[in-house]
Amino acid sequence: MFDSKLPNLGISIFSQMSGLANKFSAINLSQGFPEFDTPEYLKAQLSQYVAQGVNQYSPSSGVPKLQQQIAALVQRKYKAQIDGTSQVTITSGATEALFVAIQTIVRAGDDVIVFDPAYDSYQPAIELAGGKSVHVALAAPDYAINWQMVNQAITVNTRAIIINTPHNPSGKVLKQQDINELKKLVSAHNLYVISDEVYEHITFDQQPHLSALGDEELLAKSFVISSFGKTFHSTGWKMGYCIAPTDLSEEFRKVHQYVTFSSFTPAQHALADMLEQHAEHIDQLSEFYQQKRDVLSNALQDSRFSILPSEGTYFLLLDYSDVSDLNDVEFCQWLVEQAGVAAIPLSVFYQQPNNDKVIRLCFAKNDQTLIEAAQILCQL
């Protein structure tokens, strides 16, 4: 029998639920990808560069004009000065950036603090690096970080903390007090931070996104990771990037060059043009998704579900305690097969599944899709 490096992993819940959605012709609010298309300008620029023959390898760290546009975006959004050439590395999606950052800093025997519910790529990457993920559970309904618990989880083996804000799947954003507590721990224990900020441009109700890029002290020990797929409705392009101090970027690039070497060249040029010519897209993204959150939330007001507040991302959590006694995995299976709506059970984001009756819906969909799904859910 083959000795697997990841013996406890199988097909992801996202693939399972999307497969069931297709099988039962259900409305798919499970997997986190937009139902609407990439901006026309961005598609046109991609086609233009392909037609012009810009189809060969780019520099491993990225196309220079895209690196510079990202640096300009960071200055505009966070008032932070970064050097695009030495600090910005373009990657084949944020998942690659997360994997490379983890491989860069985690050594055999190292511990990495992970907050559950957590994105499913963190733990496998840590284990492949020879490390161990130490899980700190966040509880419904507020999913707030208990920093005293975090401090107690830190040992001499702790190498890094992974944060994710805005947070998938809870939809929460870190507050200034969280950043302050994180900085104390980083300083006291000489830790690194991997800051997963793929939903950085999607926050609601005037909530600011507090990026590690906006704090000079924190950035000095951080890898900050973002995603063009989330920002420009182009998840299939698999384009992301990592920003880190020059010394950390140098080490990051040593690993990156042997993972993908370079990322999709025509898309890099097209994205640079998009950032330069249509900055308003990013500025309008929070309002765009807040409207969709509100469409779904308002349409569910007469349901028996309890709606948990979403402060960012394009996910909404529902407590179904008044709807069913099934556990969340069983409920989601029933929901897609019998009711015709696909959702994600929250327990799969935990190392130790809890008994919270909470499911995640993706509202990156057309309004009519959201309304139709809500009408079904209101009948339960």
Same domain, 161 and 181: yes
The verdict on residue 211 lying in a domain is yes
229 plus 371 within the same structural domain: no
| pLDDT tens per residue, range 11-45 | 888 889 899 999 999 999 998 889 999 999 999 99
Q: Are residues 229 and 347 in the same domain?
A: no
Q: What is the mean pLDDT of residues 258-282?
A: 97
**Per-residue model confidence (pLDDT) at position 66:** 98
The number of folded domains in the chain is 2
pLDDT at position 230: 94
Structural domain contains residue 249: yes
Q: Among 229, 255, 278, which residue terminates a domain?
A: 278
Please tell me whether residues 233 and 318 are part of one structural domain: no
Domain match, 179 and 257 both? yes
Q: Which of 145-159, 191-205, 350-364 has the lowest mean pLDDT?
A: 350-364
The closest of 121, 82, 40, 340 to 222, measured between CA atoms, is: 82
pLDDT > 90? residue 200: yes
Proportion of the chain above pLDDT 90, given as a percent: 95
Residue 238 is assigned to a structural domain of this protein: yes
Reply yes or no on whether the pLDDT at 310 is more than 90: yes
Does the pLDDT at position 379 exceed 90? yes
Tell me, what's the pLDDT at 12? 87
Position 175 scores a pLDDT of 98
For residue 368, the SS3 value is helix
Is the pLDDT score of 9 beyond 90? no
Looking at the predicted structure, is the pLDDT value of residue 48 above 90?
yes
Indicate if 346 and 269 belong to the same structural domain: no
In angstroms, the Cα distances linking 357 to 20, 117, 332, 352, 373 are 21, 13, 11, 14, 19
Q: Which tokens sit at 96? A: 């690659």
* Boundary of a domain, candidates 236, 261, 278: 278
The answer to whether residues 130 and 225 belong to one domain is: yes
Cα separation of 274 and 41, whole Å?
7
What are residue 206's phi and psi, to 5 degrees?
A: 65, 15
Q: What is the pLDDT of residue 244?
A: 98
Q: What is the pTM of this model?
A: 0.97
Q: Looking at residue 277, what is its pLDDT?
A: 98
Q: Residue 303 — pLDDT band, cuts 50, 70, 90? A: very high
263 and 330 in a common domain: no
CATH number for position 131: 3.40.640.10
Domain presence at residue 7: no
Which residue segment(s) compose the domain that 288 sits in? Answer: 13-31+284-378
Q: For residue 46, tell me if it sits in a domain.
A: no
Q: Which tens digit of pLDDT belongs to each residue from 154-176? A: 999 999 999 999 999 999 999 99
Mean pLDDT across the chain? 97
What CATH number is given to the structural domain containing 358?
A: 3.90.1150.10
- 280: exposed, middle or buried (C-beta count within 10 Å: 0-12, 13-18, 19+)? exposed
- The per-residue pLDDT for 355 is 87
Tell whether 90 is covered by a domain: yes
d(CA 242, CA 93): 10
Q: What's the rounded Cα separation, in Å, for the pair 190 and 158? A: 9
Q: 367 and 254 in one domain?
A: no
Verify that 157 and 204 share a domain, yes or no.
yes
pLDDT at 10: 85
Same structural domain, 339 and 234:
no
Looking at the fold, whether 183 and 306 belong to one and the same domain comes out as no
Residue 178 counted as domain residue: yes
Of 278, 297, 320, which residue constitutes the final position of a domain?
278
